[in-house]
Structure 1
Amino acid sequence: MKDLYLKLPHVKLISALQLLLISLVFSGLATFLKPHAHFAKNESNFEENIPRVINDWMEIQQSAPQVSMVSDEKSLINQLYDDTLMRTYVNKDGQQVMVALAYAKEQRQDVKIHQPDICYPAQGYQMLKSKEKVFSNLSKSTQVIGKQQLYYGQNHLEAVSYWIRVGDRTMTSGLQMRSKIIEDGLLKGRLDDGILVRVSSAISDEAKASEAYALQERFIKEFVLAVEQKSPGLLVP
């Protein structure tokens, strides 16, 4: 009988209302919370702190615009994020990767990082594949968990690797971000900072996806190591 009761629709509704109430309470408290020191040790200044040359990788002029880091035209980038960056890097073999960073000093219920899962489809891309990915050897303190995805749009395929750091953890869903924001706000009295780290490659064939992800992983390790030397805690926990 208890199991049957738990499956009833009104019970799910109550749970949803409870979550909404907590979110609203936290949103009201957010104004009065004093943020702790951001997990990123230095204030972000991507143009100065993100190297343009990393080992045998060098920034080049982008040949095509990248997918935006917001999900709709009403969500202005400068209203959501305190710093953003989009670059393309090429190595000595002519292989290219695109990098997109979006940093926000305060993650709140009404202002939080937009996931590629939403931004790509909102801009006309179709998600073909998506899986969780542990990016190894990036952080000494915890796992960096994100996603590898494949999209089709604008007459090309795009392989995407990304993670989102909120405070001292990486997130793979909007629910996880919301729970983390509520947890740290109510229990610790702080507003976390957060960042989206996205690396992508245009590919000609779906069979090239594995090769693209392997290239991205090699680039990511070098990129994170170089950035974290100047800005510890910015990209990874």
Structure 2
Amino acid sequence: MNRAAPDWRLALALAALLLAAAWGVRAVGWPVRPAAAPAAPGVALADAVPRRFGGWAEVADGAVQVDAAMAANESAYSEQLLRSYQDRDGRTVMLTLAHIAQMHPYATPHAPDTCYAGAGFEIQSLTPAPRPPLMVRRMLAQRGLRREAVVFWMRLGDVYDPPSSAATRWHLLRNRLRGGPEDGILVRASQLLDVGDDPAAAHARLEGFLGELLAASPEAVRRKLRGP
């Protein structure tokens, strides 16, 4: 009879952990939105994301973007959109959208700092820049002579900027317990820097670009990028 006691305590501890996961993820520091309708996963980004908006227009650019699926399961992505846009002053921004229609603990959008490090970049800085409605991170990365300013966010269902892969899996487990699959997306904008360019100015430009993109996009695209 004494032998059963540790098993009973272990079962109770596991039940408590699952209950905590089911109640929410605020304890790990995620920004969370109230539960709402699905984030319009059916809209095709290639068709619906505007090719021209504000002072930006799509261009055929020769710059090679860092693959959002690098070191990850590329087949997990339902769609990837890679485009380059240019403003009236000739400055080019590279846009990456990588969407997963149905996530599970081992199929989530891949964090850019991991992708860039896997591609041989040194991550020189990575800082949050929460300015609603854009809950973004600013990153500065360099490989050889290529220096790149990056702004991005990751949405996993109704949460943004997950702090770790373990916390991500807890969130997905919680939602499975609640009975619903979720979609997820990586939204990334980046700019190549020349010698002497100010990274802070580039980051501000990228945030402005993403803000203009959201404002010019149809509601279905905004819901897909930002959620309900």
1:37 to 1:231, Cα distance in 2 relative to 1, 3 A: same
Task: Choose which of 79, 82, 101 in structure 2 pairs with 1:83.
Answer: 79
1:155 to 1:168, Cα distance in 2 relative to 1, 3 A: same
Structure 1 alignment gaps of length 5 or more: 1-13, 23-35, 139-144
Give the match for residue 134 of structure 1. 130
Give the match for residue 233 of structure 1. 223
TM-score relative to the length of structure 1? 0.75
Give the match for residue 45 of structure 1. 44
Give the match for residue 184 of structure 1. 175
1:130 to 1:196, Cα distance in 2 relative to 1, 3 A: same
Give the match for residue 209 of structure 1. 199
Distance 1:62 1:165 in 2: 27
The CA deviation at 1:131 is: 0.6
The CA deviation at 1:202 is: 0.6
TM-score relative to the length of structure 2? 0.78
Q: Is the 8 A contact 1:171 1:177 kept in 2?
A: no
Alignment size in residue pairs: 197
Give the match for residue 108 of structure 1. 104
1:105 to 1:158, Cα distance in 2 relative to 1, 3 A: same
Residue 63 (1) aligns with residue 54 (2)? no
Q: What is the root-mean-square deviation in Å for CA atoms of aligned residues?
A: 2.5
Task: Choose which of 113, 123, 133 in structure 2 pairs with 1:117.
Answer: 113
Distance 2:36 2:107 in 1: 19
1:219 to 1:127, Cα distance in 2 relative to 1, 3 A: same
The CA deviation at 1:44 is: 3.2
Structure 2 alignment gaps of length 5 or more: 1-12, 22-34
Distance 1:206 1:109 in 2: 42
Q: Is the 8 A contact 2:138 2:152 kept in 1?
A: yes
Distance 1:135 1:84 in 2: 26
SS state at 1:117 partner? helix
